[in-house]
Amino acid sequence: MIDYTMQAGRLTVLLGGELDHGSAPRIRRAIDTLIAKYSPQVLAVDVGALTFMDSSGLGVLMGRYKNMARRGGRIVVKNATGTVERIFAMSGVYQVMEKE
């Protein structure tokens, strides 16, 4: 399970620890379960507490973007700093996702 809040159509998930190829499937399933449960209009992914992320995190984010897009929703990335921000920025994800 991951920490989350749901308010006014906005589902905010708080990711912590390390996000890599090993942990990505668990995080992916957890977020998709919450999306299916709450049908949010906005999925906000707070990555501020991640202690590590490689490009596997990009894959998770892009997969959730596709999931939300199919449902007519959108995705926001929150609190990306350091290495996490560098990976997001170089990939161009901010062309399709908002940044907070």
Partner 1 sequence: MHENQFTMRFCARSENEKFARSVVAAFAAQKDPTLDILQDIKTAVSEAVTNAIIHGYRGREEGEVELSACWQGHVLSITVRDFGAGIADVPRAMEPFFTTSPEGEERSGMGFCVMQAFMDDVRVTSAPGQGTSVILKKSVCAPARADGATKIFETY
Q: List interacting residues with partner 1 (CB under 8 A).
A: 18, 20-22, 24, 28, 52-56, 58-60, 62-63, 82-83, 86-87, 90-91
* Residue 78 CB-density burial (10 A; 0-12 exposed, 13-18 middle, 19+ buried): middle
Cβ atoms < 10 Å from Cβ of 77:
21
d(CA 9, CA 53): 27
- By C-beta, is 6 or 90 nearer to partner 1? 90
Min dist. Cβ of residue 9 to partner 1 (A): 25
- By C-beta, is 6 or 32 nearer to partner 1? 32
- By C-beta, is 18 or 78 nearer to partner 1? 18
